[in-house]
Amino acid sequence: MRLEIDLTIKGGLVVDGSGAPPFRADIAVAGGRIVDIGKAVPPAREEIDARGHVVTPGFVDIHTHYDGQVTWENRLVPSSYHGVTTVVMGNCGVGFAPCRPDQHDLLVQLMEGVEDIPHPVLVEGLPWNWETYPQYLDVLAGRQYDMDVCGYIPHAPLRVYVMGQRGADRDPASARDLQEMARIVCAAVEAGAMGVSTSRTFFHRSSDGRSTPSFEAAEDELMALALALKASGRGAMQLITDFDDPDQTLALLRRLVERSGRPLSVSLLEGGYGPMTLRWRDVLDWAADATAAGLPIKAQVLSRAIGVMLGHELTLNPFYTCASYVKLAGLPFPERIRALQDRQLRARILAESADPNPTIVLGRLAREFDHMFILGDPPDYEQPVEQSIAARAERAGVTPEELVYDLMLERDGKNNLYVTLCNYEYGSLDSSLAMMRHPGAVLGLGDGGAHCGTICDGSYPTFMLTHWVRDRTRGERLALPQVVKLLSQDTARAVGLLDRGLIAVGYRADLNVIDADHLRLSAPEVVHDLPAGGRRLVQRAQGYAATVVGGTVVHRGGVPTGSLPGRLVRGPQAAPA
């Protein structure tokens, strides 16, 4: 009996995700899987002409925060603009399950503070038709998306669910608490969780300024979670931690993996404060050495600086705590911009002090003029320090405050600033390049779905293909096969999704058809499309001729087709036979 082919992609240059050299071939898809790769595949009901284009696996983003968005929305913007076909949510120990009815607001405040998702958005958007983590997964299993979704059970909600206020107050967990947490983790993994995530950084705070419940959790608590994964026989650990004492921290993480045998990934950034380390090379070497010794450990790295956006429409800007500026907060945006053009008001605001809001840890960046730039459109993420606001102001003979006040009023008040928080200590992306090339690293940290008014890094797959493969002028570039492997097979394997990330017979038909010569990343923009009219930063791209999820085209020419084949993925997936 002849197999009926659903889709063929013809004439493209196939970059298969393995790191091997590209080759020209047709691809045939049936039943959501790749069934043939060659020169003369059978005809199909639907055909994509990929001549002149590159064909890659769909990209797997292992570090997102769509935990709320997946309960009210079907299209996972901005990730779906950038060739992503699978996302992993629930990172950094925050999320919305498990959760008792009287704990809803606590978790909303935590997500608002840690991930900058506005309180009204979550209050209106979340249906709360679950309590346990398996029930949360069941809700997602009944929904449809433009990509596949999967998630970790997060430590902070788990701790509060088991310990109540004691958990929120970060009291030590009792033996009974640990036993119950382990039981719930086992049940979550059995239901389809990818593992468990946690946060141990001072950076992660609730919107009321309190540290996340998992901050400084004792080793016996972390070990209980790790051993629950061991008992389940599957699942990974993901965490973010402060490297205040790197040697002690790395020893702890190694013990977790040694005793549990489960994979672990830890966020890694270059920087001088917060969840960062100036010893990032040591951390990468440690991870590579551990893996060579049979302990699966990776450091999650980002391909560019962690960049915080500042603007009149956003959470932060250099004047957001000035008394006269605060008085304008209730005005509609056009009226606020007209008011800011008044010269007397300008003088008052420039004369006022700006004290960072202590509940917003990133607030201190609002006047980091040495690391602040006009991003531009198309955006330039690797500008020399000579183009910083501080340097430009010095050349112009004005204060940085005067310069940014006037710059931010351009483009009808929508001219945003960009501050490099991490991975840009020395004014270039050379550290990111070294991280990505290191065997101890895996790509992540894009934070799609989070930081609605401050960060927009979920676009990093397109940045990888444009800046690192084609456009970089300030240093070495990366080969296309290497970049595609970093975005697909490497990330998929890091979380146990062995059925995707590669163009090969039997693998999921998650694919991108890309006009590589005309691929372009747009500047971040503000849209008001969240529940309660909430705003978020999104970043679009041009050049994706088609994105295919499970054999169904979800984007064609950058425009959604309306098809929603994406589903919940329950746990790690085996490789095709």
Encoded tokens for 196:
């468990």
**Distance between CA 433 and CA 481 in Å, rounded?**
15
Task: Give the pLDDT score at 276.
Answer: 61
Predicted pLDDT of residue 428: 96
- 506: its two tokens: 């039997």
3-state secondary structure of 556: strand
1 has a pLDDT exceeding 60? no
Buried-state track 220-229, b at ≥16 Cβ within 10 A, e below 16? ebbbbbbbbb
Q: In what order do the strands lie in the sheet with 264-267?
A: 153-154, 195-200, 236-241, 264-267, 297-301, 441-443
Alpha helices by DSSP H, listed for 293-417, are: 323-326, 333-340, 343-351, 389-396, 400-408, 410-413
| Separation of CA 396 from chain center | 37
pLDDT exceeds 80 at position 504: yes
pLDDT digits over 510-569, tens only? 999 999 999 999 999 999 999 999 999 999 999 999 999 999 999 999 999 999 999 999
**What pLDDT, in 10s, does the model give residues 12-21?**
999 999 999 9
pLDDT at 202: 83
Q: Could you give the CA distance from residue 68 to residue 122 in angstroms, rounded to a whole number?
A: 7
Per residue in 410-465, pLDDT (tens digit) is: 999 999 999 998 999 889 999 999 999 999 999 999 999 999 999 999 999 999 99
Question: CA-CA distance, 53 to 381, in Å (whole number)?
Answer: 26
Report pLDDT digits (tens) over 383-395: 999 999 999 999 9
Maximum Cα–Cα distance across the chain: 81
Residues 564, 145 contacting (CB under 8 angstroms): yes
For residue 479, the tally of other CB atoms under 10 A from its CB is 14
Q: Using CB atoms within 10 A of its CB, is residue 88 exposed (0-12), middle (13-18) or buried (19+)?
A: buried
Domain 60-305+425-494 class in CATH: alpha beta
Short-list 557, 480, 544, CA closest to 511: 544
By three-state DSSP, how is residue 481 classified? Answer: helix
Question: Taking Cα atoms as reference points, which of 192, 235, 148 lies closest to residue 508?
Answer: 148
Residue 43 structure tokens:
């005809």
Cis amide prior to 334 (ω within 30 degrees): no
Q: What is the fold of 7-56+511-560?
A: Urease, subunit C; domain 1 (2.30.40)
Q: Which of 193, 187, 211, 192 is nearest to 201 (CA)?
A: 211
Asked whether residue 275 carries a pLDDT value surpassing 70, the answer given is no
Query: Would strands 46-49 and 7-14 be described as parallel, antiparallel, or unpaired?
Result: parallel
Comparing 6-15, 144-153, 317-326, 358-367, the range with the smallest average pLDDT is 358-367
DSSP 8-state symbol, 332: -
Mean pLDDT over the full length of the chain: 96
Check pLDDT > 70 for residue 2: no
- CA–CA separation, 71 vs 236, rounded Å? 24
Q: In terms of DSSP bridges, do strands 525-527 and 59-61 run parallel, antiparallel, or are they unpaired?
A: unpaired
- Residues spanned by CATH 3.20.20.140 within the chain? 60-305+425-494
What's the whole-number mean pLDDT along residues 161-166? Answer: 98
For residue 555, what are the β-bridge partners? 547, 560
Share of the chain above pLDDT 70, in %: 99
Q: Find the helix or strand (DSSP H, E) in which 168 lies.
A: helix 165-168
Assigned token pair, 438: 């290191």
Indicate the burial class of 344 (C-beta count within 10 angstroms; 0-12, 13-18, 19 or more): exposed
Closest CA to 225 of 238, 212, 240, 241: 238
Q: How far apart are CA 74 and CA 145, in angstroms?
A: 4
DSSP 8-state assignment for residue 245: S
Q: What is the pLDDT of residue 245?
A: 87
What's the pLDDT at 357?
80
274: confidence class by pLDDT, cuts 50, 70, 90: low
Task: Report residue 110 as tokens.
Answer: 């935590």
Query: Taking 90 as the threshold, does the pLDDT of residue 239 lie above it?
Result: yes
pLDDT of residue 124: 97
Q: Tokens 């141990």 appear where? A: 200
Comparing C-alpha atoms, which of 349, 329, 357 is closest to residue 116? Answer: 357
Q: Look at residue 575 and tell me whether its pLDDT is greater than 70.
A: yes
Enumerate the CATH 2.30.40.10 domain ranges in the chain, comma separated.
7-56+511-560
The band of 247, judged by pLDDT with boundaries at 50, 70 and 90, is: very high
Does residue 321 surpass a pLDDT of 60?
yes
